[in-house]
A = this chain, B = another copy of it.
């Protein structure tokens, strides 16, 4: 009997045909069935690796990465996912490239893609830019494939943009699915996506936006909490409201961290910058107004420092369901007394949740691999079965 059967059965009842040859920009562009397919394939690939069975579906081929911001977790998760499937990562380090501005996105996209099966991009710094850039890249390579320039059309995986952080929040969801024993058990669970104090400014909005856009798909009660002035992109709130209505869950906002934590099953306290301020910063950068940026940063730090009480302490955790909510973070966290004087979370809370936090992160490589797999493999069920039957050892014992 094939162990893959379990995953294949689940896939058989989902409709994800449109994922073949498609990209992954934003979770809300995917149907529930498609998201479920990612979770199922991620589990299947993890099962194969844990049992020392190779999941290589590529004999050769490149995966291009482009990080416009520092990254450890996402960089290594992407490298792991690509290696698992048989692709070699080639980093497009813009500092070592001849990349010019404006017009040449189209050109660069084609020039790096002659043998690229995947392009992973992280571009989260400027409002209105990151996701738009990714779409330009995809448009360019689609045309390149159509025009006979490229042999294959590389799939884009959004490794974080200004709007969403799909590989992160899909990994977060895979983690809570595992912790709560199934995606069906998420229904009715309360998750508090709350702002938290950090001594740094300008942290991206993609995680809170990604969380409210995704977690509302599963019938959860999603509460977004932040001090007045720390609003997120309103369009994503609209999406969250719509999702909550469709899934039988709820989407609420509050300016009280306590209210959000009250009876929560899951808490996700994390700093971010006000959307309006990020818009303004993007504009200032556009005008090369560096004194303006410097002034804005000072204002943001000052604004942050009036909210040092937004910290995930043991006292706060006691407000949660049975005092035992699952604590999430995308890492690295600002830990009070450890990585900074005062931060997002107290050392004792962080320490207590260290193992589940690291497990949360461990889903990202498999989520990315599943996104690639579903885009590249025509018949995922039979390929999974074949991988198990082929039974190539990942490592000689």
Contacts and interface: CB of A to CB of B under 8 A. Distances in A.
A339 B394 contact: no
Contacts of A90: 76, 79, 83, 89
A67 B96 contact: yes
A271 interface: no
B331 A111 contact: yes
Contact of A70 (B59, B89, B98): B98
A393 interface: yes
Interface in A57-79: 57-62, 64, 67, 70-73, 75-77, 79
A99 interface: yes
Given A90-B89, A103-B335, A108-B72, A84 B97 contact: no
Contacts of A79: 62, 88, 90
Given A79-B62, A359-B148, A394-B59, A338 B89 contact: no
A71 B98 CA distance: 6
A84 B62 CA distance: 9
A361 interface: yes
A59, A71, A361: residue with the most chain B Cβ atoms closer than 10 Å: A59
A27 B29 CA distance: 51
B80 A115 contact: yes
A344 to B, nearest CB: 13
A339 B59 contact: no
Contacts of A378: 397
Contacts of A397: 377-379
Contacts of A338: 102-103
Contacts of A144: 358
A202 interface: no
Contact of A50 (B50, B97, B151, B332): B151
Interface string A355-393: 100110110110000000000111100010010000011
Q: How many copies does the complex hold?
A: 3
Contacts of A97: 70-72, 75
A107 B62 CA distance: 29
A270 to B, nearest CB: 14
A341 interface: no
Contacts of A323: none
Contacts of A28: none
Contact of A80 (B62, B77, B86): B62
Contact of A358 (B46, B70, B110, B395): B110
Nearest to A55: B60
Given A76-B90, A80-B115, A358-B144, A332 B104 contact: yes
21 contacts: A58-B396, A59-B392, A59-B393, A61-B395, A62-B79, A72-B99, A72-B112, A75-B96, A76-B114, A80-B115, A83-B115, A88-B89, A104-B339, A114-B361, A114-B365, A115-B365, A147-B358, A149-B358, A150-B362, A376-B395, A378-B397
Interface of A: 46, 49-50, 54-62, 64, 67, 70-73, 75-77, 79-80, 83-84, 86, 88-90, 92, 96-104, 107-108, 110-112, 114-115, 117, 144, 147-152, 331-332, 335, 338-339, 355, 358-359, 361-362, 364-365, 376-379, 383, 386, 392-397
